[in-house]
Amino acid sequence: MNPYLDIAPEVQRALSEGMPVVALESTIISHGMPYPKNVETALLVEQTIRENGAVPATIAVIGGRLKAGLSREEIEYLGKTGRGVAKASRRDLPALVARGADGATTVATTMIIAHMAGIRIFATGGIGGVHRGAETTMDISADLEELANTPVMVVCAGAKAILDLGLTLEYLETKGVPVIGYGTGELPAFYTRESGYSVDYRVDSPAELADVYRAQRALGYRGGMLVTNPIPAEYAMDKTVIDAAIEQALRESVEQGVKGKEVTPFLLARVVELTGGDSLESNIQLVLNNARLAAKTAAELAR
Ligand code: PSU
Ligand code: MN
């Protein structure tokens, strides 16, 4: 086992008995939602995973240790500290570990740590991707490269239109990452069920998802796969409302010269502020929906 990794006892027990486990990220807690909704949501997501037959493993870096499975106190600490915790993507782990520091893990680092621990499936809200204007800024999330290299299935609700969804799909195609629609042939756009872009494959059951994952391993691929699960219709947002908020947030980020790892957290926070919390409720519901699907798929994988 990796000398920097701590697997929580409950998670370790489930893994050694071949029981279903689902990884969860922590940047969504610290940088993706405001306190106290972030903590409530993180705990509710864990509970939802349990109710659907799997053990949750929320992942973060605490005191330089890579944690697979957090205590309630650790989740509360990350939620309260919010953007005061370092957002930890792939390039951040070496320094955080060496200094014994704390970090909230993105999709990329959650995949890395999940894989180290032997966890095959991970549920989140939205992934990072190719940003609008990336042809000049070169702002492309490390999440995409991780999907290309690390064998974890990531269940999300697509990607927010803060990104260029077309370029994000092109990048994933180049890197050989399967993009699967759950119950849809269209890429969902996080707050809305449709984006106008097609996914590679439509899959309609957790058992089929488990089959595709097993086939990917059997083929000897090293990378992961992306499952895009549309937000339940009753919680989807009005496209014109959300698009207007995203456009304004993007304009402000350019005006204020926001750069690097700050871009995504800035946009996420502004969109919530501009939509007066409606988008937050949608965000919570889609994460719970992804948690249910990931837990059921983990149960199929464990059969
Ligand atoms: N998109 C969301 N919600 C999030 C994130 C992205 O809709 O919480 C977070 C995830 O942790 C994701 C990270 O991995 O932002 C991507 O950051 P960047 O674009 O800097 O790679
Ligand atoms: Mn970026």
pLDDT tens digits for 229-270? Answer: 999 999 999 999 999 999 999 999 999 999 999 999 999 999
Closest Cα to atom 20, ligand 1: which residue? 261
Query: Residue 239: what pLDDT?
Result: 95
Q: Which residues pair with 123 in a beta bridge?
A: 24, 155
Q: Is the predicted pLDDT of residue 288 greater than 90, yes or no?
A: yes
**Distance in angstroms (rounded) separating the CA atoms of residues 128 and 56:** 22
Q: Which two tokens stand for residue 287?
A: 């994460």
Ligand 1 nearest atom to the CA of residue 28, by list position? 8
Query: Residue 107: what pLDDT?
Result: 98
Radius of gyration of the chain from its Cα atoms, rounded to whole angstroms: 18
Prediction pTM value:
0.98
* Average pLDDT of the chain, as a whole number: 97
The boundaries of the domain holding residue 251 are 5-302
Q: Is the predicted pLDDT of residue 100 greater than 90, yes or no?
A: yes
pLDDT tens digits for 17-35? Answer: 999 999 999 999 999 999 9
Q: Which residue has the tokens 């269209």?
A: 186
Query: Residue 266: what pLDDT?
Result: 97
| CA 259 / ligand 2 centre spacing (Å) | 8
Does any ligand 1 atom lie closer than 6 A to the CB of residue 228? Answer: no
Check residues 245 and 276 and name the one with the higher pLDDT.
Answer: 245
Ligand 1 nearest atom to the CA of residue 139, by list position? 19
Contact yes or no for 227/182 (Cβ under 8 A):
yes
CATH value at residue 113: 3.40.1790.10
**Distance in angstroms (rounded) separating the CA atoms of residues 162 and 189:** 10
Domain count, the chain: 1
| CA 140 / ligand 2 centre spacing (Å) | 5
**Distance in angstroms (rounded) separating the CA atoms of residues 269 and 123:** 21
pLDDT tens digits for 118-172? Answer: 999 999 999 999 999 999 999 999 999 999 999 999 999 999 999 999 999 999 9
21-22-26 Cα angle (round to 5): 135
Lowest mean pLDDT among 13-17, 113-117, 233-237, 273-277: 273-277
Query: Residue 120: what pLDDT?
Result: 98
Could you give the residue numbers annotated as active site? 25, 160
Query: Residue 103: what pLDDT?
Result: 98
Q: Is the predicted pLDDT of residue 276 greater than 90, yes or no?
A: no
Query: Residue 115: what pLDDT?
Result: 98
pLDDT above 90 covers a percentage of the chain that reads 99
Does any ligand 1 atom lie closer than 6 A to the CB of residue 38? Answer: no
DSSP string covering 84-98 = GSEEE-GGGHHHHHH
pLDDT tens digits for 45-76? Answer: 999 999 999 999 999 999 999 999 999 999 99
Contact yes or no for 274/249 (Cβ under 8 A):
yes
Q: What share of the chain is helix, strand, coil (3-state, %, to 5)?
A: 50, 15, 30
CA 44 from chain center: how many Å?
A: 16
Beta-carbon contacts of residue 129 (< 8 Å; ≥ 6 apart): 140, 141, 143, 144, 159, 163, 164, 165, 167, 168, 171
Beta-carbon contacts of residue 169 (< 8 Å; ≥ 6 apart): 179, 187, 197
Write a three-state SS string for 250-269.
Answer: HHHHHHCCCCHHHHHHHHHH
Query: Residue 81: what pLDDT?
Result: 98
Query: Residue 136: what pLDDT?
Result: 95
| CA 73 / ligand 1 centre spacing (Å) | 23
Per-residue pLDDT band at 277 (split at 50, 70, 90): confident
